[in-house]
Amino acid sequence: MPIPVSRTACQCLGFGISHNLHVLALQMVIAAAASGNEVVRQDALRLGQYGPGESLSDAHDLANRIFVSIYMGSENSSTETRKR
């Protein structure tokens, strides 16, 4: 029998799983760049919009530079949601 879960709880769970997968993928990017893969390093620097003299430090920094949270209210959103 399925356990009912609120929509908010499902969204939080989905975000948590998604966040962990993104960080894991970016850890692999950082590791590849650190091991000498110049193509990966250059791509990560470009995508993260690193300036001259800046270097890749860790997956969390790269994630903060790439991923952005946005609010996407629509006509189907509740009044409470649209007021946020």
Q: Where are the domains of the chain?
A: 7-67
Higher pLDDT, 84 or 28: 28
* pTM metric for this prediction: 0.62
26-36: buried (b, 16+ CB within 10 Å) or exposed (e) per residue?
beebbebbeee
Q: How many CB atoms lie within 10 A of CB 20?
A: 10
> What pLDDT, in 10s, does the model give residues 22-81?
788 899 999 999 999 999 999 999 999 999 999 998 998 998 888 776 666 677 777 777
